[in-house]
Amino acid sequence: MKDPKELLAQMTLEEKAAMCDGRDFWHLKGLERLGIPEIMVCDGPHGLRKKDYDKKGSSLVASIPAICFPTAATTACSWDTGLLGEMGKALGGKCLKEKVGVLLGPGVNMKRSPLCGRNFEYFSEDPLLAGELAAAFINGVQSRGVGTSLKHFCANDQESRRMNGDSVVDERALREIYLPAFETAVKKAQPWTVMNSYNKINGTFGSENAHTQTEILRDTWGFEGAIVTDWGAANNRVMGLAAGNDIEMPSSSGMGTKKILAAIEAGEISEDLLNERVLKILELIKKASDGAEKAEKEGFEFDEEKDHELAKRVAEQSMVLLKNNGILPLDKSKKIAVIGEMAKAPRYQGAGSSQINPTHLDNAYDLLASAGVSVTYAQGYERTLAKAKKNPAHIAEAVEAAKNADTVLLFIGLTEDYESEGFDRRHMKIPEAHTQLVEAVSAVNKNIVVVLAGGAPVEFDWDNDSICAILNSYLGGQAGAGAVVDILLGNVNPCGKLAETYPEKLEDNPSFNNFPGNIATVEYRESIYIGYRYYEKAQAKVRYPFGYGLSYTTFEYSDLKLDKNEMDENDTLTVSFKIKNTGSVAGSEIAQLYVGDKESTVFRPVKELKGFAKVTLNPGEEKEVSLKLDRRAFAFFNTITNDWCVESGEFEICVGASSADIRLDACVNVSAAACEIPDYRESAPLYYTGKVQSVPDDQFTAVLGREIPPVERDRSTPLTVVDSFETASYTKWGGRLNNTMHKMIPLFVKGPGADFAVGIATQTPIRNFMSMSGGVFSEKMADGLLRILNGDKPGKGLRMILSDIPRALKGIGPLMKQI
């Protein structure tokens, strides 16, 4: 492919406008007359979901076999950037084999609430950890000449109303919590693309938000790549283009192109602006084309068996031992009862657009048996919620197996029915059938090991004295069962540490009273206090703290040294300390470095993660660890100066095995230039105590810096394509349609899956009926539907829809072949 600038000069206005729109669901447009190839993009991020065009159905159910690595919620617990880089390289190899130019991932949204249905796809509640892991993954993929798409930009931290909700978040929380993971990934890895989120950010849709896309992403961070909409996230195409968005996906079937051309003709945007956007697209296509051409000429490494072994190693390094009274590693000479359907049919990945068709799938029962362990099996429960009523026969079988065993391995956790893209959980409990099973088995056997699966924190109200160990396997990918077995048998020493806090109960979470929010908005009233930042400031007890994880060995920390006791804000502080393996087996320890401002004018957390290191040690071995802290480690975002600011004073340097297990600490005095600092001690005092679950309006207004927006849409204005049946529910026909869906859908879809179906049906904006249907649902049909909902000649609206159905029916077949 020729130089993008040369090609741009040869393109017509119409060709340039068309280039800003996808060719179909999974391809960017090419231009044959100029030798510009089209490129394919595919969902990830822990595998490759590429449609198998030889099979019927969408790519959700008909995708090619591909390696399925552990999900981000799992890999984050490895705290291992090198390992994430290896995983990225392997996925880049698969993309080259399948001629995919861009892998759509990773996701670095923050875990504001444990209920977010997509938490399994995100790394952490901490932006530093998420950003470092994402950067490593991106560098791994892109080292193979394949692009990535950093997503979902930004403040997209729930599935409820994700397509048209407004995230109301103060600027400081945005800069300190919700943006830094993106910032780190951009500055350290330069992903080829960044993907917009669906939601509004402080009143403006992500794809139209000049503050986030242009002022921050491009101008402040120096992002060099292309900005692509999430699929269906384009709202006003012209406003999006002006605000910095380059590519609309999937194809709008020409609608976006016409609007761009009309806007240029009307003088609303310039051709120079369009040229800027098209150049970014051409640069993206050239990078992907060059990567594919190099791979074809020189060859590339790709080995599915090696990838499976790597997937197992990633899982081994990521699983977290939460509890152990010494029962683990298992004694192979004992009789073991393996109970729970997930021992044979593992929960190994999330549900939704990231769902991978694995090349192979291990299960724990078969692997235990092949390892020579004497095992019996009882199903214990039905995997799917539709069948998961209390089953006396399953319980009786499990109890009998437990009675006749020395040790019980109990496989329980969250099933696909409980967490998925598209809906949020309503509670943190595991399925009732699993709780009943734990109760029954605990009554007859006092040597129980629980293997817990799931992509997010759960409540542990089922834990009891009979449970001697708990291994959190999270979602371990296709080789996860092998990792579980090797950890249980002691072939692998667990070293994973939690990348998120496990609260005692849902009500303890800082966002409890403001999640998932209102019909129009979700208010981030807790500001900077998410995860451990909140629990420590509010002095709230947690079940398992951030950074926590057990090992089969023990580690001793010593000899903390700071290379200076006083420093200027622009100096770099070197922190060193020693770690020694004081146990009898080799193991890896994840040391965490936190910094806390001992006294500040603005409210701040007790401490924040500013560095980490993973150290592997043989028994008796000791190593020195050295980490560096720059100005940013001591800074907060100053909303008065609109910049990062350090306040002079004493800072505590803490080194520990978790956020709650600090082993070493010291202090350093930092001198900084004087500047005006926000002081909310009178206007928002709750933020200085951390008691932010129920912040009153006046205090949130003070921190937000503006009036709190209305929680419902303005009913005096007509409904538009941005609205959904839910936001239209106050109208006569909107209310009827919304209520009908809420009543009828659960009759056909049972359990939490009904939440997903109801949410999709009632919360999807009308614009997405058009953008996600490839034109099957037309602008004419949308106009007719709006006439009905607005009560503006509903009969005419119905006739408009009906008259367009024959055309729409013809388009359904071609659409299904695309998606």
> Catalytic residues, which ones?
230
Residue 477, sorted as left (phi over 0), alpha (psi -120 to 50) or beta, turns out to be left
What are the DSSP calls for 342-364, one per residue? Answer: GGTS---S-SSTT--EES----H
HSE toward the beta carbon, residue 98, CA cutoff 13 A: 26
Q: Could you tell me which of 699, 674, 665 has the C-alpha nearest to residue 685?
A: 699
**Cα 615 to Cα 622: distance, rounded to the nearest angstrom:** 10
DSSP letter, residue 322: E
Length reported for the chain = 819
Cis peptide before 45 (omega within 30 of 0): yes
Secondary structure of 441-464 in the HEC alphabet? HHCCCCCEEEEEECCCCCCCCCCC
**Cα 67 to Cα 318: distance, rounded to the nearest angstrom:** 17
Across the strands, what pairs with 667? 652
**Cα 433 to Cα 450: distance, rounded to the nearest angstrom:** 15
Cis peptide before 70 (omega within 30 of 0): no
Cis peptide before 211 (omega within 30 of 0): no
Residue written as token pair 């090797």: 486
Cis peptide before 191 (omega within 30 of 0): no
- What amino acid is encoded at 596 in this protein? G
| SS3 category, 568 | strand
Residue 224, sorted as left (phi over 0), alpha (psi -120 to 50) or beta, turns out to be alpha
For residue 475, CA distances in Å to 94, 388, 483, 538 come to: 21, 21, 11, 31
Asked whether the beta carbons of 634 and 645 are under 8 A apart, the reply is no
Long-range contacts at 29-33 (CB < 8 A, ≥ 24 apart): 30/285, 31/7
**Cα 321 to Cα 153: distance, rounded to the nearest angstrom:** 33
Asked whether the beta carbons of 156 and 107 are under 8 A apart, the reply is no
Sheet strands (E) in 505-621: 521-523, 542-544, 555-562, 566-568, 573-581, 587-597, 608-617
**Cα 40 to Cα 283: distance, rounded to the nearest angstrom:** 15
Sign of the torsion angle spanned by Cα atoms 84, 89, 93, 98: positive
HSE toward the beta carbon, residue 426, CA cutoff 13 A: 8
Q: Could you tell me which of 142, 161, 136 has the C-alpha nearest to residue 72?
A: 136
* Six token digits for residue 542: 């947690």
State CA 116 to chain mean position distance. Answer: 9
Using a 10 angstrom Cβ sphere, with 0-12 exposed, 13-18 middle and 19 or more buried, the burial of residue 397 is: middle
HSE toward the beta carbon, residue 200, CA cutoff 13 A: 19
Burial 641-661 (b: 16+ CB within 10 A, else e): eeeebbbeeebbbbbbbbbbe
Asked whether the beta carbons of 489 and 371 are under 8 A apart, the reply is yes
**Cα 555 to Cα 587: distance, rounded to the nearest angstrom:** 9
Backbone angles phi and psi of 54, in degrees to 5: -90, -5
Residue 65, sorted as left (phi over 0), alpha (psi -120 to 50) or beta, turns out to be beta
* Six token digits for residue 307: 């990838």
Across the strands, what pairs with 594? 609, 654
